[in-house]
């Protein structure tokens, strides 16, 4: 096996891609990477067959959805599981696969980006990767909705047709933009469906103070994005006397009434996903990883780490439905948190679109009265690079007469700071997970209605951070609404071809971040670009 090539996330080595026979920056092995490439090609083949036959199948659609999720950054690191997925997909699309792993990997070598570059050229391969990664991001959000029982046949049809196109593409840059905007429009539909699902299943988010200091007692930590799996853990551990904490992107779970109703959901522990190796080692109980954001575990906590859902890691115990009670058994044998005299501390979350829409008219009044000068939407993924301190500094230096809207794990760069209020309205409004981008979109459009203007004329600056494929689908969703003048950091994706960069800069004024001070000064000057 010659090795891997992967450039789908912001950690791409050298800003170009992870390669070689070892491991990628994320910890994924070359073997796992190659099997992911093969799995995607088989999924595209199955989609092509379904489109050609004008057929549909819920089981095949789910198989394709699972394949897209399994190949995302920080989800499935397990070659054995990936091989099993490949063999099931091969059977579904009637593609015979070699019996041995070695021969399977040899076949997989012909399925990656490097092979595509040889066949179609570097620019075309990058365009196709851009579209594929956006499709993956949209699929991750749709997977959450499907798991809650909310499906849309038209969305499944979109995934089939989008993947089928990748089998025999002939993309010019302008055509690529159109296909990307189609992905953005479908992402909008998916985000709205997921919002509907979560609001109906868990209740509408409400502004809620969440403890970020521990409570004495035995403890379980749940990280990731999956509210459904968190609920399963809460049900399985109810009445055991064991406390459950959220971590990372599960922080907003506390704002959902039907989750907050569990008294043993006591708080949030730690910060962003990339700090997990230190934080999990210090946590005095078992840890469950529910969705992407898995990192290679350290020895200190390897034996008390569990995965669920699509997440897999070699030699880490995987829990299926009905097995979450095992977490309580492990928690009982771990020390838990001791009694302390540390003053309790809380942070405010839960500004879903219902809560936000209730205060938007007052925000508009304060803007017209001159008490609020500007809104800043600082959202997106977090990561380990120190250049991301940009977002911390930016939030800190934004003037006191401005509001900050935030969502996704990038907020952990500043969400424990005190920002105060303007006429009783918190200056920092936490809208939720990255999957709650629907809330931000609803709020922006409603704000434009109330101010009798268009989205791009609002006193609003959008500064986003990206890390993986979901951020790409959100970016395209915003473009599909005509949103312009977005700043993106910490750098442009490695899979952006030069012609795509030029088109996005010209058509949507997408620009990289520079320095917090310079970008803030430009935003406040409100000067034409």
Residues tagged in the binding site annotation: 6, 9, 18, 26, 225, 249, 293, 381, 409, 434, 468, 470
DSSP string, 409-475: GGGGGTTTS---EETTEESEEE--SGGGHHHHHHHHHHHHHHTTS-GGGSSEEEEEE--SHHHHHHH
Query: From CA 318, how far away is CA 310, in angstroms rounded?
Result: 10
**Chain length of the chain:** 529
Query: From CA 334, how far away is CA 321, in angstroms rounded?
Result: 23
CB 108 within 8 A of CB 4: no
Query: From CA 405, how far away is CA 379, in angstroms rounded?
Result: 8
Residue with tokens 């010019």: 172
DSSP state of 315: T
| Feature table: binding site for [4Fe-4S] cluster | 6, 9, 18, 26
Listed in sequence order, the DSSP H helices in 247-342 are 257-260, 276-282, 325-333
Q: Coil, helix or strand for 322? A: coil
Which residue from 289, 143, 309 is spatially nearest to 224, judged by alpha carbons?
Answer: 289
| Feature table: binding site for hybrid [4Fe-2O-2S] cluster | 225, 249, 293, 381, 409, 434, 468, 470
Cα(first)–Cα(last) distance of the chain, in Å?
50
**Backbone φ, ψ for residue 33 (5° rounding):** -60, -45
Query: From CA 523, how far away is CA 399, in angstroms rounded?
Result: 12
């Amino acid at each position: 096996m010659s090795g891997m090539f992967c450039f789908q996330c912001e950690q791409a080595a050298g800003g170009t891609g992870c390669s070689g026979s070892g491991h990628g920056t994320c910890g994924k092995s070359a073997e796992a990477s190659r099997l992911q490439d093969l799995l995607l090609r088989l999924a595209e083949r199955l989609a092509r067959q379904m489109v050609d036959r004008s057929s549909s199948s819920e089981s095949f659609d789910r198989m394709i959805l699972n394949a897209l999720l399994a190949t995302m950054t920080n989800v499935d690191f397990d070659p054995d599981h990936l091989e099993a997925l490949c063999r099931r997909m091969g059977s579904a699309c009637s593609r015979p696969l070699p019996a041995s792993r070695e021969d399977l990997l040899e076949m997989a070598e012909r399925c990656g980006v490097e092979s595509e570059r040889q066949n179609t050229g570097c620019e075309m391969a990058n365009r196709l990767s851009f579209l594929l990664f956006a499709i993956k991001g949209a699929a991750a959000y749709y997977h959450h909705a499907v798991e809650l029982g909310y499906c849309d046949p038209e969305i499944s049809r979109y995934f089939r047709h989008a993947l089928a196109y990748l089998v025999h593409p002939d993309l010019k840059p302008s055509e690529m933009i159109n296909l990307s905007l189609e992905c953005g429009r479908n992402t909008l539909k998916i985000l709205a469906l997921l919002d509907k699902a979560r609001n109906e299943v868990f209740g509408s988010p409400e502004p809620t103070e969440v403890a970020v200091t521990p409570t004495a007692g035995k403890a379980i930590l749940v990280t990731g994005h999956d509210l459904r799996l968190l609920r399963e853990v809460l049900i399985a551990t109810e009445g055991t006397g064991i406390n459950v904490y959220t971590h990372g992107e599960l922080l907003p779970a506390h704002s959902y009434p039907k989750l907050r109703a569990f008294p043993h959901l006591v708080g949030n522990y730690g910060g962003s996903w990339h700090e997990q190796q230190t934080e999990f080692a210090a946590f005095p109980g078992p840890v469950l990883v529910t969705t992407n954001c898995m990192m290679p575990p350290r020895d200190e906590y390897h034996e008390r780490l569990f995965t669920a859902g699509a997440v897999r890691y070699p030699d880490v115990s995987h829990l299926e439905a009905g097995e979450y009670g095992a977490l309580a058994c492990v928690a009982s044998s771990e020390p838990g948190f001791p009694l302390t005299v540390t003053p309790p501390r809380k942070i405010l979350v839960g500004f879903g679109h219902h809560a936000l829409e209730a205060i938007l008219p007052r925000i508009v009044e304060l803007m017209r009265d001159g008490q609020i000068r500007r809104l800043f939407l600082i959202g997106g993924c977090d990561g380990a690079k120190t250049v991301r301190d940009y977002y911390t500094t930016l939030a800190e230096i934004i003037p006191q007469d401005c509001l900050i809207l935030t969502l996704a794990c990038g907020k952990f760069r500043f969400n424990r700071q005190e920002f105060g209020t303007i006429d009783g309205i918190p200056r920092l409004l936490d809208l939720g997970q990255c999957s709650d981008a629907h809330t931000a979109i609803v709020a922006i459009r409603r704000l434009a209605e109330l101010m009798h203007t268009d989205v791009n004329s609002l006193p609003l600056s959008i500064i986003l951070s990206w890390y993986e494929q979901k951020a790409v689908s959100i970016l395209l969703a915003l473009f599909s609404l005509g949103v312009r003048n977005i700043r993106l950091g910490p750098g442009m994706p490695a899979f952006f071809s030069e012609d795509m960069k030029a088109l996005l800069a010209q058509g949507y004024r997408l620009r990289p971040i520079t320095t917090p001070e310079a970008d803030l000064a430009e935003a406040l000057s409100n000067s034409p670009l």
